[in-house]
Structure 1
Amino acid sequence: MSDANRHYVLAAGGTGGHLIPAFALAVELERRGHHVALITDARGADIPGKPDFLPAHVLPAGRFGKNPMTWFAGVKAVLEGRRMALRLFETFEPSAVVGFGGYPALPALLAATSAGIPSIVHEQNAVLGRVNRLLAGRVQAIATAYPEVKRLKPKYYPKEHLVGNPVRAEVLALRDEPFPPFTDDGLLRVLVTGGSQGARVLSDVVPDGLAMLQPALRSRLQVTQQCRPEDIDAVRERYRSHDIPAELGTYFEDMNTRLADAHLFIGRAGASTIAELTAVGRPAILVPLPIATDDHQHFNTREVVKAGGARSIRQANFTPTQVAKQIQAMAQRPETLATAAHASWNCGRPKAASDLADLVTGFGGSELMDVIRVGGNNARGASQGEMVGQGAATRDEMS
C-alpha cells in the first residue's frame, strides 16, 4: 500500500458528540486520497450526516453500568466485537485505528493493540472519557480538544496533542463571516437550543427571563428556540403572553444558518456545541448538563468563559432573573456583545480536522517515512516525529 493511499478505521459511539468529529476527520482523510471505514453501533450507522463514501460496520459493544451483574454480558460483547474487528482489519489493512470515545470504540481499539496496529484516541470533552481513560496506556497518541483535560494522568502527557474538536464544514465556512450587525436600536437575535432532544429547563426558564429584560432591550428581541415536542405548545403560549416574537421548532435542519444570524446563544455545553460556537465566534450563556459524566460539560465551558466569550450558569442557579441579568450585562452596549463574540472566536480551533489528520497520518508510513520523522518530536515516539509536530500543539509547547 502506498503512503499516498492508505486505509484508516475510525471507531466511535453512536451519538453526534462522538460522530461529528469522526465524520470531519473522514472527510479530510478522504480528501487526501485515503480510504476510511467506520466502526460504530446501530445508532451511529443510521445517524444523519454520515458521508456517503464512508462504510459503517456495526460491532457488538457491551456497556458497563453500576450493576456488576451486567458486566459478564458486557465483556462477552466486547470480546465478540474485538474478534469481528480483527477480521475486518485482515481485509482492510488499516495503517491506524482512531477512537472517538463511547463503548463501540472499545473493541476496535483493543483489536488494534493485539494486531500491532497504531491507535489514537480523540477526546472531545475537557474530561477524559471512560473508554479513553481505559485505553490511554495502550494507544500511541491522545488528541485533545482543550488545553487542560481532567482525568488524564501525568504519565500520559507525552502522548497528548492539542488539536481541537473538528466541526462540520458548513459551520466552519462561517468563521470568516463578520459578526451580525448589532446596534443600539437593531434586533437582538437569540438562538436557544438544548441539543438533539432539546432541554426542558430552557423551555421553562428562558421565555420568562427574556420577559424580565429592560423594555428598551426586550422590545428588540427576535427568538429562535428548539423545544421538545411535548413542550412546544406551552413555550409558544408563554412567548405569546410576553409579546415576544419567537420561532419554535423541535428540529431545525438549517441550524448553521440560524447560528450565523444569531447575536447570542443560550444552551447546553456539549463539546460539539462549544466547538461550533467558537468556530463561528458567538457569545453564549451556557447551562452545563448536571448529569453529564464527570461533570464534563461544566469543564467544557472553562476556556471560553475565562476568555470572556461566554457566561456559564449551573442549572440549579439558572433562573429567569439570572438569565435577564446576564443578557443585560452582555448586550447593554453593542460593543460589549461584539467583544464577547471576538473572545469566543479566538478560542476556536478551525484547523482541528487538518491537525488531527496530520497526527493520524503520522502513523503507518513506509520505513523511509518513519526515519524522516525521527527526531522532531522524539518524546512522543519515533512513529510521530516532525510530521506530527507541524500540526498538533503539545502540552510542552503550550507551557
Structure 2
Amino acid sequence: MNVTLAAGGTGGHMVPAHALAAELKSRGHGVMLITDERGAKIPALFEDVPTYILPAGRLGGGPIGWLKAAAAVLAGRRQAKALYREFTPDAVIGFGGYPAFPALLAASALNIPTILHEQNAVLGRVNRLLAGSADAIATSYAEVDRLKPGHQGKVELVGNPVRESVARLGTLPFPEFDDTAPLKILVTGGSQGATVLGQVVPDALGMLSPKLRHRLQVVQQCRPDDIEAVRNRYAALNIPAELLTYIEDMPDRLGEAHLIIARAGASTIAELTAAGRPAILVPLPIATDDHQTANAREMAKAGGARMIAQTEFSPELLAKQVEAIAGDPQALSNAAERALSVGRPHATSDLADLVERIAGGTAPLLVGPAETQSAPGIGGMGVPA
C-alpha cells in the first residue's frame, strides 16, 4: 500500500509519525510525508521518506488572520489533491497540527480513507475539526477530553508510538537502587527545555536529607540561556550535575535514571510509561486546552507519578515529593511498576495494524526516492494544482 502521513512541524507530532513510517516501511508499504517548513528541518527524522511541504494557515489573528489562514488551507488542499493523483495513497494519517489540515481535507474530498492520531489526552483543534469525516481516531489515552460522544464509535486506543530503544527498557529490570546506591535523577523540559526547572530543581535537591543528597547524580536539560546559571547553582550546592541543552542519547539516559522530573508532554509521558520510570511532572500551564495536565492524569492516578502545578512548584514542595518517592527503595520500585502498568509499548505496531485494516487491500508501491520538495503547484513535481 501507499500511505501518506501528515504532521505539524513540532516534535510532538513528528516523532510518532516517524515511528509509524519506519514500521510501515518494514512491512513493505510506501510512505510519504506532508508537513511544513519546521517539520522538514527537524534533524534525524524522515531522512529516507519523500517529504512535501504544503502551505497551512494557523487560526488566530482576528478577521484578517482568519482570511489568510483560509486562503492557505485552500491552497494546500488543492496542492495535496494534485499530489494524491500522482501518488494514489490508500490512506492518509493525520498526526495533528495545522499542516495536517489541508492534507486531510484533500483526502476526504477524494474519498481516500483517513485516520487521526491524537497524542494528547485532549483532542487537538485540527483533529476536532476533522473527527466527523475521519474513518478512525487512534488515541493515546483511554480518556480523551473534547471528544464528542458521537465519535466514540471510531475510536481505537493504540497509545503514542515511541522508539524501539525506549520500549525495550520496559522489558529490562529497574536500575538497582538501595540505601547506599547513587540516586540518578534526570530532569527534562521537553525538546525546548524549561526555565522553571532550572530555577527550582537545584535548590530543591539541595534541601534533601543528607542520606539522599550525598548520593545524587543529576543529568539536566537546560535552555541555552539558562545553563550557566544552573551550573553555578549546582556548583554552589556541591551537587554533581551534568547539564545539556539537548539530550541526544535519551534512551540511554532514561535507562539509567531512577527518577525523572519533567514536563508532561505527550512524548515524555509515552516514553516514561513504556520504559517504566517514576516521575514528578510539572505540566506546562500555557499548553493549549491545558492538555499537559490531562496527559499526566493517567500516570498520576496509577501511582507512577506525582503531579505539581507550576503555580505550586517550589523548592520546598519538590524536595518533599522527591523524599516521598525516592526515600524508600521499595516505594521507588513500586512507582516504576505502576508507571509501566499504563505504558503502551506496542503503540507503533498497533497503529500500523489499524492503518492496514482501514486502508485495506494492496497496491503497487509508487513512492520514489526520498527528497524534500514543495508540493505540486509550488514547483515541486510540476503537477498542476
Query: TM-score by structure 2 length?
Result: 0.93
1:280-318 CA-to-partner distances (Å, cap 9, x unmatched) read 000000000000000000000011101000000000000
- Alpha-carbon distance, 1:65 to partner: 1.3
- Alpha-carbon distance, 1:181 to partner: 0.3
For 2:383, the equivalent position in structure 1 comes to none
In structure 1, what residue type is equivalent to 2:315? Answer: P
Q: Does structure 1 residue 187 correspond to structure 2 residue 195?
A: no
The runs of 4+ residues in structure 1 deviating greater than 4 Å are none
CA distance in 2, matches of 1:95, 1:301: 35
For 1:296, the equivalent position in structure 2 comes to 291
> Given the alignment, which residue of 112, 123, 133 partners 1:117?
112
> Given the alignment, which residue of 84, 90, 94 partners 1:99?
94
2:169–2:276 contact (8 Å) kept in structure 1: no
> Given the alignment, which residue of 188, 201, 211 partners 1:216?
211
CA distance in 2, matches of 1:232, 1:303: 32
Query: TM-score by structure 1 length?
Result: 0.89
Q: More relative contact order in 1 or in 2 (CA 8 Å, sep 6+)? A: 2
> Given the alignment, which residue of 45, 59, 65 partners 1:64?
59
1:76-130 CA-to-partner distances (Å, cap 9, x unmatched) read 0001100110011001111000000000000000000100000010000000000
For 2:43, the equivalent position in structure 1 comes to 48
For 1:86, the equivalent position in structure 2 comes to 81
SS at match of 1:137: coil
Q: Does structure 1 residue 166 correspond to structure 2 residue 158?
A: no
How do residues 376-395 of structure 1 correspond to structure 2 at under 5 angstroms? none
Q: Does structure 1 residue 143 correspond to structure 2 residue 138?
A: yes
CA distance in 1, matches of 2:229, 2:198: 9
CA distance in 2, matches of 1:181, 1:66: 53
> Given the alignment, which residue of 312, 317, 320 partners 2:315?
320
- Alpha-carbon distance, 1:256 to partner: 1.2
For 1:178, the equivalent position in structure 2 comes to 173
In structure 1, what residue type is equivalent to 2:130? Answer: L
CA distance in 2, matches of 1:179, 1:58: 42
SS at match of 1:143: strand
CA distance in 2, matches of 1:230, 1:302: 31
In structure 2, what residue type is equivalent to 1:147? Answer: A
2:175–2:258 contact (8 Å) kept in structure 1: yes
- Alpha-carbon distance, 1:349 to partner: 0.4
- Alpha-carbon distance, 1:365 to partner: 2.5
For 1:131, the equivalent position in structure 2 comes to 126
Deviates more, 1:163-172 or 1:29-38: 163-172
CA distance in 2, matches of 1:310, 1:48: 31
Q: Does structure 1 residue 307 correspond to structure 2 residue 302?
A: yes
Q: Percent identity?
A: 62
Unaligned runs of 5+ residues in structure 2 are: 363-385
> Given the alignment, which residue of 307, 328, 337 partners 1:333?
328
In structure 1, what residue type is equivalent to 2:39? Answer: G
Unaligned runs of 5+ residues in structure 1 are: 1-5, 368-399
For 2:255, the equivalent position in structure 1 comes to 260
SS at match of 1:37: strand
- Alpha-carbon distance, 1:66 to partner: 4.7
CA distance in 2, matches of 1:129, 1:366: 30
- Alpha-carbon distance, 1:197 to partner: 1.5
1:143-198 CA-to-partner distances (Å, cap 9, x unmatched) read 00000000000000000110000011221222212110001011000000111111
Tell me the number of residue pairs that the alignment of Structure 1 and Structure 2 aligns. 362
In structure 2, what residue type is equivalent to 1:363? Answer: I
For 1:246, the equivalent position in structure 2 comes to 241
- CA root-mean-square deviation: 1.0
How do residues 22-41 of structure 1 correspond to structure 2 at under 5 angstroms? 22-41=17-36
SS at match of 2:220: strand
CA distance in 2, matches of 1:52, 1:291: 32
CA distance in 2, matches of 1:251, 1:98: 29
For 1:361, the equivalent position in structure 2 comes to 356
- Alpha-carbon distance, 1:226 to partner: 0.6
In structure 1, what residue type is equivalent to 2:271? Answer: E
